[in-house]
Amino acid sequence: MKLGFRYGVGAVILAVVVAAYFSGSVRWTQLVINGLWFALLGAAWNIQAGIAGVLGLGNALFIAVGAYTSIYFYNTYGISPWIGMWIGAGISMVIGVLVALPCLRAGLRGITYVFATFASSQILLFWLLDQRWLGGAGGIRLERIDHSPINFRFTTNEPYLLLISAMLAAVMFFTIFIQDRRWGLYMRAIRENEKSAAMSGIPVLRYQLIAVALSALFTSIAGSFYAQFQMSVSPSAVLSLTMALNTIIFTVVGGIGFVFGPVVGAFGLIALSEIALHLSGTSADFASIRMLIYGASIIAIALFLPGGLMSLFDPRRSKDES
């Protein structure tokens, strides 16, 4: 049943993507790309937080590195974003490990680790504001718009929709693949109990760092996609607290640790937000009503469904079930 449900959720998401693809509507494709992008961020965060239990709040840092790197290398050296995104991913993995290593080794867990990793993304924010070669507060934009698949540059939204779908699918397949293999089992054992995991012979710190590096890799790729799709990036756009929290809210609402959690959360909340927008029309205070509905739903889920939406269909995983 669990597997059947997975297929069901996958089919619904696929249907939405296909519908958007053939809708010919810029607004719809944009919206679905946005949803898939946040789902990708969530899926990447899910690997470190949901599977390995390393609760970091610094992933916006990797979005920024991926975004800046792909644009900077394209502008300065004419390197295709297809290559630039991997350079960014490499840098992100190194930074991710360099930040996580001392924090985890010093025993930071829970809220202290959250603060430490969030601080690392804020350090990058303030550093970027002073870097004139990276455009300072204004950020950088693509200097040459040269439409070509080689340059990651398309005239319409549809190819971007396909690309982001493929990226999300790849990360989700990867997550499913490792789930009951050595890496996934080790990470889940560490999430459940570090002491017991160590006594089973698992090098705890090493696998925590692998989880962080994987998370950094996929988040950085998502960052490069963002930059190429938007054709620009600025420090405040990607390194805000909102950006960091959105990823987590989408994942937690959908179901942390579930492969489909991030995508269900992202699509669910974005759909809700759109419906609220529609209902409130264009009245003067529509923005506040929209946020009110949005906020109330998140609180309701946190209170009544702490395992997230996915736990509705897979009660086996819910914590209260024991």
When the beta carbons of 285 and 320 are compared against another protein, the nearer one is: 320
Number of residues that bind another protein (CB under 8 A): 26
Residue 105: Cβ within 10 Å count: 11
- CB closer to another protein out of 201 and 281: 201
**Residue 74 to residues 37, 59, 138: CA-CA distances in angstroms?**
22, 23, 18
Nearer to another protein, 46 or 246 (CB): 46
- Under the binding rule (CB under 8 A), the answer on residue 261 touching another protein is no
Binding characters for another protein, 277-316, by CB under 8 A (x = yes): ---------------------------------------x
Residues 6+ away with beta carbon under 8 Å from 217: 44, 89, 92, 93
Distance between CA 119 and CA 121 in Å, rounded?
Answer: 5
Q: How far is the CB of 124 from another protein (least distance, A)?
A: 32
Binding mask 76-115 for another protein (x = CB under 8 A): ----------------------------------------
Residue 202 binds another protein, judged by CB under 8 A: yes
Q: Which of 66, 81, 235, 257 binds another protein (CB under 8 A)?
A: 257
* Cβ nearer to another protein, comparing 58 with 308: 308
H-helix or E-strand containing 207? Answer: helix 204-230
Task: Answer whether 256's CB lies under 8 Å from 49's CB.
Answer: yes
d(CA 116, CA 96): 12
Query: Read out DSSP for 167-186?
Result: HHHHHHHHHHHHHTSHHHHH
Minimum distance from CB of 219 to another protein (Å)?
24
CA distances from 187 to 110, 180, 183, 215, 313 (A): 16, 10, 6, 13, 24
Subset of residues 142 to 201 that bind another protein, contact rule: CB under 8 A: 180-182, 185-186, 188-189, 191-193, 195-201
Query: Which pair of tokens denotes residue 210?
Result: 């692998």
CB of 195 to another protein, least distance (A): 6
Q: Phi/psi of residue 90, each to 5°?
A: -65, -45
- Of the candidate spans 31-39, 120-128, 134-142, 202-210, the one that interacts with another protein by CB under 8 A turns out to be 202-210
CB closer to another protein, 127 vs 173: 173
C-beta of residue 70 within 8 angstroms of C-beta of residue 84: yes
Interacting residues with another protein (CB under 8 A): 180-182, 185-186, 188-189, 191-193, 195-204, 257, 316-317, 319, 321-322
